Amino acid sequence: MDRIYEEAANWLVREPDDAMDWPGFTHWLEADPRHRAAYDELALIDAELDDHSTRLAAARPEPLPVAANDSQPLRWGRWAGMGGGAIAACLALVFALQPVGRDVPIQDYRSAIGKNSQIALGDGSKIVLAPASHLTVQGDQLALEGTGYFDIPHKPGRTLIIRAGEFQISDVGTQFSVGNEADGVSVDVAEGSLSVSSERLAKPIALAAGHGLRADRSSKTIRMTSVDPQQVASWRRGQLQFDQTPLALVARDISRYSGEKVMVDPAIANQPFSGVIAIDEGASPARALAQILSVETRPVDGGIRLEPRGR
């Protein structure tokens, strides 16, 4: 365990450097659950050092002499020469200084059909909740039903966890979208990198900018995709993008994002559609879709039904 703490300290002191090896850091975190636990523990100590410097100094040995021209990061001095035992002593003291039994409140956010919801969290995180979506926030633990776009600032020692169905997205500071819909889970990364884990996966999957994941619940398959970072969560700009998506699901999304009720005749429900549908230009997105596919539209129950021609 001493070795793990020493490795965690090495990553911690290099974190502020612009040349930080984020892919390597992510790989190290995912290699062993003890790695993340050790890193989070050291980050907690580091954050408390200024507030409790006198008491914490007694729990560690005198720092080793450092040359005046030493190029190591300044924070290295806090951890230089400390083995796992000394680190554990600091950790015990830090936990003794923390408030005990304080419950973290749950924040609940919901968006209406046809309307995005803007969310700003206290830590600087910005979230755009897609229409008809639900997000709960409890500290660094989030749970999503529906779809959302996340702009998470990097915060030393903090890993945000987003639960989307049977999947967990671990992030230390990234821009990305997550969808947890009836048909499956999707993740697209616009900037930075993150990790996706699940009992369905043999090991966590690291995703960097320009890459995504699609987990289909009906076929129980998972595939990796390439994405245009500029087009991630294009629904924020009033554009719905589809790639070989069954028409029934296209109609579902148009209904949800535009507020226009769209139904599909079973005869064409599985017909695939690829393309972009605008939802904020005033015209009916369902009628625009019908024109592209050369299908008929018929008013039904306050909405529009797509039907084969000649029906």
pLDDT in tens, 297-309: 999 888 999 999 8
Distances in Å between the alpha carbon of 250 and those of 83, 175, 241?
57, 25, 9
Torsion from C-alpha of 14, 18, 23, 27, nearest 10 degrees = 10
- Cα–Cα distance measured from residue 255 to residue 261, given in angstroms and rounded to the nearest whole number: 5
Pair 35, 29: CB distance under 8 Å? yes
- Maximum alpha-carbon separation in the chain: 87
Is the whole model's pTM more than 0.85, yes or no? no
- Show me where the domains of the chain are located: 2-97, 108-231, 238-307
Residue 78, judged by CB atoms within 10 A of its CB (0-12, 13-18, 19+), counts as buried
- Cα–Cα distance measured from residue 276 to residue 239, given in angstroms and rounded to the nearest whole number: 6
- Name the residue among 157, 123, 190 with its Cα closest to residue 25: 157
- Which architecture, in CATH terms, is 108-231? Sandwich (2.60)
pLDDT at 218: 86
> pLDDT tens digit string along 103-155?
678 899 999 999 999 999 988 999 999 999 999 999 999 999 999 999 999 88
- Cα–Cα distance measured from residue 195 to residue 168, given in angstroms and rounded to the nearest whole number: 8
- Cα–Cα distance measured from residue 3 to residue 88, given in angstroms and rounded to the nearest whole number: 12
**Fold annotation for 238-307:** Phage tail protein beta-alpha-beta fold (3.55.50)
β-strands 184-191, 193-198 pairing:
unpaired
Question: 70 pLDDT band (50/70/90 cuts)?
Answer: very low
- Name the residue among 114, 142, 141, 152 with its Cα closest to residue 130: 114
Pair 94, 56: CB distance under 8 Å? yes
- Cα–Cα distance measured from residue 160 to residue 155, given in angstroms and rounded to the nearest whole number: 10
Residue 230 has pLDDT above 90, yes or no: yes
